[in-house]
Structure 1
Amino acid sequence: MGFFTKKQSTTGDPFLDAVVTMQSDDNTTYTSAGAIRNSDIFTAVSIIASDIASSPLQVIKDGVPKKDSGITNLIDGQPNEVMDGWHLKFSLAVNMLLNGNSFAEIKRDGNKVQSIELLPNSSVTVTQTDNGELRYNVGDKKRRVPKENMLHFKYFTQDGLTGLSPLYALRDEIKIQKAGNKMIDNFFSRGINSNGILKVNKAVLDNEAKQNIREKFEESNGSQNGANTLRTIILDESMDYQAMEVNTDVLKLANSKDWTSRQIAAVFRIPVERLGVENTHSSSTQSSLIYVKETLIHYLNCFVSELSNKLGKNFRFNVDRMLESDPDTKVKNILEQVQGSLITINEGRSKLGLPPRDGGDRLLASLNYTYLDTLEEYQRKENVENGEE
């Protein structure tokens, strides 16, 4: 059975051409190119994709990250001839979030990975044979790519084989927000709006006369140089002035935009304050910690699982950068790690961007701490020397 069918279209932008059209069960069509015109969705996707792209990939062996791994240097550095590692990870994350799926082809020379190349979603067709085998075909000529050489990232999936975009859950919210934005735009661009009405009694004025009276009135009351701003307005008996108020219904509609922003933040699982909505329930430090632990880690695991499966190594993303707080707290934490014999002095200096020092590669330990069995042996010797045994 076929999972994806191509819909040929072009936006003139190679990046947007990599976006595949999505079809929901109720025949409502979404395209990612249109979705990212929504400022909240653009912000949510760019935040998550940027954080994934900015997190270095590490190979883990026995629970410890290995240094100078060739495969991580390839992915983070220069995975192919036309793209650096940051933009590869960013593009894969964007396509996964907007379309539910993203693809990259592994090019090998024997058992060695030579490059990893991004594949536009519109060029990939995924099918499953009757015996359950997955087949990936690329391009109009249906070039077959073995499944072991195809990185297929998906976040939300019902069958474990194909992904669904978070945009499916935002169909109604996007419509509401779009309608609200259009109404506000029409109000200010097409509506008759003013800060006041100047009525000239018992006069029939043409356009030129109205313009002259408006300019003279505004000049007299400080609109040009501000000299008469907020001073008393003086009119003769032929004129009446009435101040205007902004339609409160429009202001309420503008304020209700927070509701759709909160819904979008909830679906993408990012803190609402990152979409410009005030959040009084947590500090920025708490918000960042919650974001990493409860949101970003799930997106990262989608990448880690597929990379580990197709590349035969255990991977993880280093997110230390996003867990850092203010500089003083960072220095305090590093100092405690050095004093607690968790890291060496030079490892602590490297976290602060400082060069290593001679003798800084040894772990420090306090004389006040020792192993329990050593302490028991020390106490026994003390008792012997004191004649207590």
Structure 2
Amino acid sequence: MSFFAKKQSTTGDPFLDAVVSMQAEGDVSYTSVGALRNSDIFTAISIVASDVASSPLQVVKNGVPKRDNAITKLLNEQSNDVMDGWHLKFALAVNMLLNGNSFAEIKRDGDQITAIELLPNSSVTIQQMDSGALRYKIGDKKRNVKPEDMLHFKMFTQDGLTGLSPLYALRDEMKIQKSGNKMLGNFFSRGVNGNGILKVDKGVLDKEAKENVRNNWEEVNGGGTNAMRTLILDDTMDYKPLEINTDILKIANSNDWTSRQIASVFRIPVERLGVENTHSNTSQSNLIYVKESLIHYFNCFVSEFNSKLGGQYRFNVDRMLESDPETKSKNILSQVQGSLITINEGRAKLGLEKIENGDRLLASLNYTYLDNLEEYQREKVEPQENMIKEDSVNE
């Protein structure tokens, strides 16, 4: 059973040609770059892909990040001979969002992973055998790649094997936005600011004459260089602009509504698409974005890394949770004073160089462990009790 096949959509609709098509046989065609012509789609995809690419991958053990190893250097620095880690993660995220799937091949030298190479969606075909095993075939020559050597990222999946693009859920919204933009474009491209009535006195005009008058009028008073210029009429003409219902233009230009729908499907805050959001500030928005939106995309990648690369991985999102400089400095100072980090670790977060003796943890004399406090109290109480007993005996 074939899940992916290299085929072109033939709907005739530019947008539908860019949307993942659902076929009865279970085949899914890969998308074109046409969907990126929509500014909101382009912005949403670039935001998510940039944030995924800009978040360094860390290897963790017992929940604690460890020093970078050879694999994290491949994913963060240089993935192969022609592509660095940032662009690999960016391209994988873009393909996953556009197509619902993205692919990268793991290159090995024996047991050692030496490179991770991006594969175009159009070159990958997946087959599920009767036994349930998967086969990945690459290129026109159908080169076989073992499942354990294929990183396959899925945005949204119904069966756990193939992914579905969020563009599939936006077909109707995108048609509405496209129609509204087209209407506004036609309105403003006419040159004369709004439709109007040109009345020609003392004449009976047939269809051809009316067309000639209209064309001459628009040629003289419309067009790019003549738009907004003063109109000059003779005594045989009278021009009256029609009043425009601005409510219709607001409906036609329903950018806020479609932008909100796009933001919702891609799971990003609406303000990142230029739509005002009065219910949260920047810090709250960033926190919600990381905890409720980016975590889904991170998990799409991390689950595959954990399964195919060995070890446990996570994305470092410290950069996205940074607040304003003053708040950041106060938070670091509190961490140093609370013995969570050393002075040099705090200085590193501020971009400052290390200082001598700055690698030791500070501790306040006002704090101690509870068992130490109990022991301290016992040492003070016992001598006093002994003194009382001695006094009793002497009496």
TM interval, short-chain normalised: 0.7 to 0.9
Shift of 1:247: 4.0
User: Which digits, 9 at most, give the CA deviation of each residue in 1:201-230, with x for residues without a partner?
Assistant: 8799x99x989x98xxxxxxx979xxxxxx
Q: Is the deviation greater in 238-247 or in 146-155?
A: 238-247
Alpha-carbon shift at residue 56 of structure 1 (Å):
0.3
Q: 1:49 to 1:377 in 2, by over 3 A?
A: same
Map of 2:259 onto structure 1: 261
Which of 369, 372, 377 matches 1:374? 372
Structure 1: gaps spanning 5 or more residues: 10-18, 215-221, 225-234
Are 1:286 and 2:281 counterparts? no
Aligned 8 A contact 2:184 2:252 in 1: yes
Structure 2 counterpart of 1:84: 84
Matching residue within 286, 298, 301 for 2:299: 301
1:285-309 Cα distance to aligned partner (Å, 9 max, x none): 1111100000001100110010111
Q: 1:305 to 1:29 in 2, by over 3 A?
A: closer
Show the 5 A alignment for 1:1-389.
1-7=1-7, 22-25=20-23, 31-190=31-190, 192-193=192-193, 245-386=243-384, 387=387
Equivalent-residue separation in structure 1 for 2:61 and 2:28 (angstroms): 46
Q: In the TM superposition, what is the alpha-carbon distance from 1:251 to its structure 2 partner?
A: 2.3
Q: TM-score of the superposition, structure 2-length normalised?
A: 0.83
Aligned-partner Cα distance in 1 for 2:372–2:141: 72
Contact 2:179–2:252 (Cα < 8 Å) also in 1: no
What TM-score does the superposition give when structure 1 sets the normalisation length? 0.84
Q: Distance in 2 between matches of 1:44 and 1:64?
A: 32
Aligned residues: 365
2:376 aligned partner, one-letter code: Y
Pair 1:307–1:200, CA change in 2 (3 A): same
Q: Say if 2:2 and 2:128, in contact at 8 Å, map to a contact too.
A: yes
Query: Bigger CA drift: 238-247 or 57-66?
Result: 238-247
CA distance in 1, matches of 2:254, 2:217: 38
Q: Give the secondary structure class of the aligned counterpart of 2:37.
A: coil
User: Structure 1 151/188 Cα, relative in aligned 2: closer, same or farther at 3 Å?
Assistant: same
Q: 1:69 offset after TM fit, Å?
A: 1.6
Aligned partners of 1:263 and 1:76: how far apart in 2?
Answer: 33
Q: Deviations over 1:325-349 (max 9, x none)?
A: 1111111111111111111111111
SS at match of 2:160: coil
Asked if structure 2 preserves the Cα contact closer than 8 Å seen for 1:197 and 1:243, the reply is yes
Asked whether the equivalents of residues 19 and 168 of structure 2 are also in contact (C-alpha less than 8 Å), the reply is no
Distance 1:132 1:245, change over 3 A: same
- Measured in 2, the distance between the counterparts of 1:195 and 1:68 equals 65
CA offsets, 1:98-136, max 9 Å, x none? 101000000011111110000000000001000100100
Paired residue type of 1:66 = K
Return 235-244 or 85-94, whichever deviates more.
235-244
Distance in 2 between residues matched to 1:168 and 1:196, nearest whole Å:
41
How far is 1:71 from its partner? 1.1
8 A contact 1:153–1:306 mirrored in 2: yes
CA 332–353 in structure 1, closer or farther in 2 if over 3 Å, else same: same
Equivalent residue number for residue 208 of structure 2:
none
Structure 2 counterpart of 1:16 = none
CA gap 1:372/1:292 in 2 versus in 1, 3 angstroms:
same
Taking the aligned partners of 2:199 and 2:19, their CA distance within structure 1 comes to 56
- Supply the AA of the counterpart residue of 2:137: N
Partner amino acid, structure 2, of 1:340: G
User: 2: CA distance between counterparts of 1:260 and 1:70?
Assistant: 44
Calculate the aligned-residue CA RMSD, in Å: 3.4
CA contact (8 A) 1:4 1:126 kept: yes
Cα deviation, 1:49-84, whole Å, max 9, x if unaligned, reads 000000001000121111132211111111011111
**Structure 1 residues 61 and 240: CA distance shift in structure 2, 3 A:** same
Describe the shift of the 1:245–1:263 C-alpha distance in structure 2 as closer, same or farther (beyond 3 A). Answer: same
**Aligned residues of 1:7 and 1:21 also touching (Cα < 8 A):** no
CA distance in 1, matches of 2:30, 2:127: 22
Q: What is the CA distance between 1:241 and its match in structure 2?
A: 8.2
Give ranges in structure 2 of 5+ residues lacking alignment. Answer: 10-16, 205-212, 222-227, 390-395
After TM superposition, the structure 1 stretch with the greater mean CA deviation from structure 2, 60-69 or 143-152, is 60-69
CA gap of 1:388–1:160, structure 2 versus 1, over 3 A, is: farther
- State whether residues 263 and 273 of structure 2, in contact with CA within 8 Å, keep that contact through their aligned partners in structure 1: yes
Contact 2:183 2:252 (8 Å CA) reproduced: no
